[in-house]
Structure 1
Amino acid sequence: MEVKPYVRTAMLDGKPAPVTSSGPAGWLKKNLFDGPWNTAATLVALVVVFLLLSHLLPWVFQSVWNAENLAECREIIDATWGPEHSGACWAVIHDRYLQLIYGFYPWDFLWRPNLTFAMMLVAIAPVLFTQLPRKMLIFSCLFPFIGAWLLWGGSIWQPVMVLAGFGIGAAAFRYLAKVNRILSIAAAIVLPVIWWVFVMETVVHGLHAVIPLGLEPVQSNQFGGFMVSIIIGLTAITCSLPLGIMLALGRQTELFIVRTFSVGFIEFIRGVPLITLLFVASTLLNYFMPPGTNFDLIVRVIIMATLFSSAYIAEVVRGGLAALPKGQYEAADSLGLDYWQAQQLIIMPQALKIAIPGIVSTFIGLFKDTTLVSIIGILDPIGLSNAIRADSAWNGIYWELFAFIGFVFFIFCFSMSRYSMYLERKLNTGHR
């Protein structure tokens, strides 16, 4: 009997993957129940999470939001859920949330920090997201002067003349660069300092006498809460990145004086605790100023926080520079680029891409370290929480205030972490 071979003339339809290897069931098997040890660890973790949530969730949600004091809050909890129940007294947040956000900033002027925060979001948007129009960067450059004027008030000519100092430095650099580059850099630094220290106040008083435009002044001792943390953290982050990059380049340069200064500055700052620098800012820095100079305490803290963060940023950037292969430098030389062109177009973009995780980690640490200013008398959220707990109405409350403060800090720090991951994915040019 002749057997004819069977040849399929039509393709079979594709079948879905097994349930145990795809979809939710596949994910659970791969990540949670892949073998006896993984299964045991998953079950133990589930028991721990259940025990934590069974105690935490009732405390968080079976709580009180409206009460005049802690005693009334506990009476409401006992009457509603029983005397054995220990719920949270979120009424303290409802009662003092404005103080935790703004400190003792005058209530009639709260529109000023609100407007400043809204303008801040507009200013940093084109810096964080390159899809936005580049013309918005003009507003980003002007925002620090506008924001400072809105928060502290005073004559409008003050920020205008501070901005004029930068204009003087830029003009000096532009015109003297044709003569001598080092001279132009020195003039761009010295001339604005002379303008700000010796000339600006006289010009501001003269202009304000002729055209009196300004806002009601607000003293720095009225600042507080998360507003202080955002002001110090954001300003120090913004200023420390370019300063840290320059220090990293200075540490690798062949110029002896520049390299020695950069190494000495970095090692000194990294060897001193931040709290020590804050004490220096609050007590000793005024001794180096001319007699009669009123150097704002928050500005002093911003300067010290910026210097502290820039030293760590310099080391992170230096690590990125060291990670680049030597061929990148040789490629820049083969194209005929000078030092600054090579750094701008080839070296620094790659080094910063490598250093993104370390830079963002330093920024997150700096933002959290702003809580240290409570030690030198600035009422940040931690300082205000101590003041609130000292009030007889809320004496004895503890966890609710710190839980709220920690939650707000988590939102800011988690947002920075997510943006870091977005930036890494965006700049990832490698092949997987």
Structure 2
Amino acid sequence: MKKILVSTALLAGVLSYAGGFRVSLQGVKQLAMAHTSAHAEDASVAFFNPAGMSFIPSKLSIVAGGFGASNKVTFQNLNTLQSTETDNPIGTPLYAAVAYKPIENLSVGFSFTTPFGSTIQWPSDWEGKEMVQKLELKSFYFQPMVSVKLAPWVSFGASYIYAKGKVNWDKAVTQFGGELNIKDEKASGSGYGFGFYFRPDPKLDVSIAYRSPVDMKAKKGTATFQFPSASIYPLLGLDPSTGQDKFTATLPLVEEYTIGLTYKVTPKWLISADFNYHGWERYSKLTLDFANAPVGNQPDPTVLVAPKNFKNSKTFRLGTQYAFTDMIFGRLGAYYDESPYSDDHFIAETPSFNTYVITGGVGFKLKQFGVDVAGGYALPQAREVRNAALGFNGQAKAQAFYFGLGLSYNPF
């Protein structure tokens, strides 16, 4: 019985890491227009499609920016009517990129982004404390890239992705009156991206891009059990003095397909649209391999396999920009983002909702310098939670908003 309960607790945590949401905050200008991708005015296009660097109207372009992301999740048990709210800190996604043309038809660049991650904090004594009390997920993408202009109207670009990741997750193990911490600060993985960027007409930009999945490998993760009595540690194969054990795991991050276009209706007014396809369905299972602790669910008791029930998801985006003058630009947008799982697989560690988002912002251009501000307000749809596997039922609601500041410099 001890083994079964501990295994179930760990299983919930494994699901949470890979089920973490994709953070669509990699460009302030883009966010203002629903985070659409076919915008090649500066190096911020690099993350969305490396091929877009070939159409940047300057030899050198440098961008940097950051966001504040605030969200709150409320869960209500419909039997007791008790409600619980998260107390999440403000997230701070960052991005920076540089693009340079050493020769006419060749561009090279580098992009730094934080495309996956979240922090969620529930009360330490809430009813789902065996699933999560606090979970912090972070990822960092480092992407060198190159773009070649194949013709005046089309380019091809590719990038290499090196990713670093961190996880720090606290939860209760009520059977023993204790807690469990799962932590790894050195997970890493690699991937790639490529795309084509088309400008068949001065009024029309088309971006087609693919970003591969990245398998984040945790080779020296630490699981720390804290129980009132250390006498339990040897029974679970833990270090008698610290209650710790090591684990390894491979944690996949999602692949993404994007088609985007921007059309200049008039010299001052443009409309952009994007379609994103996220390959969540590739997760059939996740495996944790502990060094000693017999807390698994396989013939090898140190191996824990978590089945996945995610599905591929889609995002639809529509944005617009109007140039009030040569220096001031107004932007608006809206998008719909599907959740990758159904109500019966809802996860309290990284809650996901079918979400409508309204965005807007203003841009200022001062010769070679650009300053952009943007904001977004999310309208997640309430969910009827029916996760029988975890015994978690009720109703979940959420609210979120984002704001960002971006800078760009195109010196020559």
What TM-score does the superposition give when structure 1 sets the normalisation length?
0.24
What TM-score does the superposition give when structure 2 sets the normalisation length?
0.25
More helix by share: 1
**Which structure is richer in relative contact order (CA contacts within 8 A, separation 6 or more)?**
2
